[in-house]
Amino acid sequence: MTASLTMIGRSIRLGRRNLDLVIMAIVLPVLMMSLFVYVFGGAISSVQSYVDYVVPGIVVLCTGYGATSTAMSVADDMKKGVVDRFRSMPISGAAVLTGHVVASLARNAVATFAVVLVAVLMGFRPTASIGAWALALGLLLLYVLALSWLAAGFGLIARSVESASLLGFAMLFLPYLSSAFVPVTTMPPWLRAVSEHQPVTPVIETVRALLTGAPAESGWLALAWSGGLLVVASGWAAWLFGRISSR
Amino acid sequence: MIVETEGLTKRYGSAAVLNGLDLEVAEGSLLALLGPNGAGKTTTIRVLSTLTRPSGGSARVCGFDVAEQAAAVRGVIGLTGQYAAVDEEQTGRENLVMIARLRRFSRSAARARALALLERFGLTGAADRRVRTYSGGLRRRLDLAMSLVAPPRLLFLDEPTTGLDPVSRTTLWDAIGDLVRDGVTIFLTTQYLEEADRLADRIVVLHNGDAVADGTAEALKSSAGGTRLDLVFGCAEDALRARGVVAGAVDGTTLAVPSDGSAVHLHRVLDDLLAARVRPLRVSTHRPTLDDVFAALTGAAA
């Protein structure tokens, strides 16, 4: 337990001191919100105000960047021999990865807070109750946790820090193929099928519904996707960590 | 025996890196594993420190099997790898406190331990600077200090001075010597015969993943022909005349004379030559290098 806390402290301290990560966590959400609300927002007509519509999408988009940072941090530790140093000590492998995953949660929490703050300045007026906020944040937490474990796994298999950043490519592309920025009803049928059968869409739909007081119809689906992804990704990362010794 | 291996093998696909290595290290000694790049030095350390599973054979550290009792092995060893694995964006002190906390020291004990190690390794001035700003020598010393947070019974040092300038190298050698006097068993790898000579009680020469020689530095050097004096003359005739005075081998204008490396011997050789009125232009002492040892041991051209 002390080991995990120490590793969490380490990853958070390193994250705070890495200017790239700080900028990624705070500046990026601001830029993305401005881009979508002021540049694209006018051209995208929707029933509700666009800023209300787009907030969950920007949050999820930013988690993609957060996951990429996590994968790169893990790959960096692998490359520099830091993971070897920890593996030569009597501490559990779980502690080593937990540090990265929890730091990833913290970074994403900062990014999410930044998105919401900027959105409010731009006119975002959520009508959600405290309970709905808690549910929305809980779902996002579960989703980010799953994504962070997936990122840790990518960091372990990546041959370099650069190739770890490829994870970001997938994570950043998925939100564009979802209902993050435009309703899926505006897409051609084949794309709509893709969009409705990937994890990002139900998560975004649920968070949006919770924040605007609409019925959260895809809640269970979002929960199943995130929970399933968490189980698979954390198991995969732990398995990969155990296999380092066969290299 | 604190380290015992029997027929240790490690292969990556079809490439064998360790070929049935048998090793024994006595507690309290310093063993140097000497070999060129690719001989299997780092792989040996990785297997013994539980980082890599062996493909075959057995290895025990402090009586624990490295494959089956990895956790027990990790409790008694310290490891300083080839590339100083320290967090660049943490200070030296933070790195040490972190390791102490991972080794289950309480907060206050961790701080005290970090301070003691910073003082011992001359790092107090740099303690609160980020490691990114450290020189190579400082970094290696911090790396070494991190391996000693929980005093290990066996310390692995993988090429501890590779890439260091001569002054930093000497400082690190002194630190390693102090550890041996404290009773820590040290298993180090090196490419430098000089380093092995200076530090080790025993040297094992590794070649293609197998031990090809095992003994003291003296024994190894004599197997490579020992020290010799190279006397360079103005012309080949002088060199041949000199050979009539002192025994040796002539190659062009150079006469190579076997020596014990002492000043007395050098003096006698020069006196004899001057008495015979043959004056060498230059004299150099040639000590056997790892290349010479290798050439002697493996029969390969150095």
Residue A93 CA to residue A91 CA, distance in Å, equals 7
DSSP A55-84: HHHHHHHHHHHHHHHHHHHHHHHHHHTHHH
Nearest to B87 among A14, A89, A246 (CB): A14
pLDDT value, residue A97: 92
Nearest CA in chain A to B88: A14
For chain A, the average pLDDT equals 88
What is the per-residue pLDDT across A145-180, written as a single tens digit (0 to 9) for each? 999 999 999 999 988 888 888 877 777 888 888 888
Alpha-carbon distance A123 to nearest alpha carbon in chain B (angstroms): 39
Domain that holds residue A91: 2-245
pLDDT value, residue A155: 93
What's the complex ipTM? 0.87
Alpha-carbon distance B147 to nearest alpha carbon in chain A (angstroms): 9
Nearest to A2 among B70, B90, B101 (CB): B101
- Is the pLDDT confidence value at B302 over 50? no
Nearest CA in chain B to A95: B102
Alpha-carbon distance A109 to nearest alpha carbon in chain B (angstroms): 22
pLDDT value, residue A45: 65
pLDDT value, residue B290: 64
What is the per-residue pLDDT across A92-103, written as a single tens digit (0 to 9) for each? 888 999 999 999
Structural domains of chain A, count: 1
What is the per-residue pLDDT across B24-64, written as a single tens digit (0 to 9) for each? 999 999 999 998 888 899 999 999 999 999 999 999 999 99
**Chain A residues inside the 8 Å CB shell of B49:** 88
A18 touches chain B (CB under 8 A): yes
CB atoms A245 and B98 under 8 Å: no
Nearest to B51 among A9, A88, A90 (CB): A88
pLDDT value, residue B65: 95
What is the per-residue pLDDT across B62-91, written as a single tens digit (0 to 9) for each? 999 999 999 999 999 999 977 768 999 999
Nearest CA in chain B to A92: B71
pLDDT value, residue B84: 66
* Average pLDDT over every residue of A53-80: 90
**Amino acid, single-letter form, for residue B56:** G
